[in-house]
Chain A
Amino acid sequence: MSASAPVQFRNTTLGATVAVLQATEPPALADALHKMFGGMPDFFNGEAVILDFAALAEVPSSIDWAGLNSLMRRYRLQPIGVFNLPPEHGEGARRAGLAQLDEAVTGNPRQIETPAPARAPEPPAAAPQAPAPSPQPATASTMFIDRPLRSGQQIYARGADLVLVGGVSPGAEVIADGSIHCYGPLRGRAIAGAQGDDRARIITSNFGPELVSIAGVFRTFERGIPETIAGRAAQVRLSGTENTLNIEALQPI
């Protein structure tokens, strides 16, 4: 087959989010999703999702595939397949365009929950890692938030680093299992290493948070932020054997 064929097939390993469903009725799921992500419809960024039916309490007599599909799309998730589907619903899933992936995936299909692996120390004035906020491949362990995060909003980057391009307002909360990078004023609460990764850091171009926390070690700024770092580029990390929070200005080179 020549390389100029209009279609080519390649093998790939695709990272996808798995949605473990305990119910299949779209209204019940919609309620639950609204509770989880109501304030952030962009929590998922067009990621591929696999619907896992292993946790169903009982096998429903019918499944509203169109409803499930459109519900997932509303949260910017793209259903691509199913796991552990009761066999009587296989035909419905096939007609809804969903692949049965049980054989295709071996091992634990759950999304990686361990903290991101150690990275080489970054140069202080590092540019944003990806200049274009284009759709990330589903495997990227970085979440990008392009708009300013407003008071009352909350973002959680599960198993990922969090990059905030527009800054964080007072009263907003950003949480990441990995590190938090904020290219704009960081004025809300920033919680990095939420699952206990003590190598996580918080880096911002304009330091002014209400609270910073790394791996559970936190600090508030009741008496104001020290003048040497207020409003400046700064980095927060844990240091020493006692794991104390170390906040330092980033020196322009």
Chain B
Amino acid sequence: MKVIVITSGKGGVGKTTTSAAFASGLALRGYKTAVIDFDVGLRNLDLIMGCERRVVYDLVNVVNGEARLNQALIKDKHCENLFILPASQTRDKDALTEEGVEKVLEELQHMGFDYVVCDSPAGIERGAVMALTFADEAVVTSNPEVSSVRDSDRILGILQSKSKRARDGGEPVKEHLLITRYSPKRVDEGEMLSYKDVQELLRVPLIGVIPESESVLHASNQGTPAIHLKGTDVAEAYADVVARFLGEERPLRFVNYEKPGLIKRLFGGK
């Protein structure tokens, strides 16, 4: 079993959207996958996954022994192999203990899960540290702007010092950079950092670029992970990310801005 943390430092960059899409993508490939919301007190993943009405027990209940893990796991409505472990909305992040989280992960391993995706809260405090402590790999999500890049850099440092792998002095956590909310047009106009700039600043291998898109908002509101939006650039970009994560080669897409031609400009169009 592999544990992957989706983290960023900064809030609002697309961690939960990415967690939902990435976990769904792994499940669509046939892997038994669990996605855990570590944002205790500000839970959102259940909304993005469209299972908010089915939450009975949560991560904190399981950590405290008030519920069994299989009582708290919610089966996803889109994918056969995907399960969601929601966060508690009524507690705070101090309710999480390292031992408790470790126990939950061990139990998931016993249940035969292939991948566990940990949706980290923003910040560098307890919740975020708990989410990355047991990670084997990390997807660091960043928007193409300087404050997001700075915070991603900070969280990479915390991965290097506070993850269990770092503390045990073993093989370091494998890092991936995911750039979200990317607008090739604004990059072209010099208003946004290019993905090359971001990669150069962070010096972490790039796993994908997700274009800025209105369909993400629609998907969130409907409770459908973005990867299920057939035919959209976002869904295809996330599918590419999953493929690259699984070791396949995919060329980078949706990063170049093509100026609209004369006819398009005259007659409009999207």
Interfacial residues, chain A to chain B (CB-CB below 8 A) = 38-42, 74, 76, 147-153, 166-167, 169-172, 184
Contact = CB atoms under 8 A, between A and B. Distances in A.
Contacts of A167: 203
A13 to B, nearest CB: 28
Given A39-B161, A148-B203, A150-B160, A169 B169 contact: no
The B contact surface, by secondary structure, is helix
Given A41-B169, A150-B153, A169-B157, 4 more contacts: A41-B161, A150-B156, A150-B157, A167-B203
Contact of B169 (A38, A76, A172): A76
Contacts of B172: 147
Interface in B110-133: 124
Nearest to B150: A151
Contact of A74 (B160, B161, B167, B202): B167
B176 interface: no
Interface of B: 124, 150, 153-154, 156-158, 160-161, 166-167, 169, 172, 201-203
The A contact surface, by secondary structure, is loop
Nearest to A150: B157
Contacts of B153: 150-151, 169-171
Contact of B161 (A38, A148, A169, A172): A38
A149 B203 CA distance: 11
Contacts of A171: 150, 153-154
The 9 residue pairs across chains A and B that have the minimum distance between CB atoms: A150-B157, A151-B153, A151-B154, A153-B157, A169-B153, A150-B156, A152-B154, A150-B153, A39-B161
17 contacts: A38-B161, A40-B161, A41-B161, A41-B166, A42-B169, A74-B167, A74-B169, A147-B172, A150-B153, A150-B154, A151-B150, A151-B154, A152-B154, A167-B203, A169-B201, A169-B202, A171-B153
A171 B147 CA distance: 12
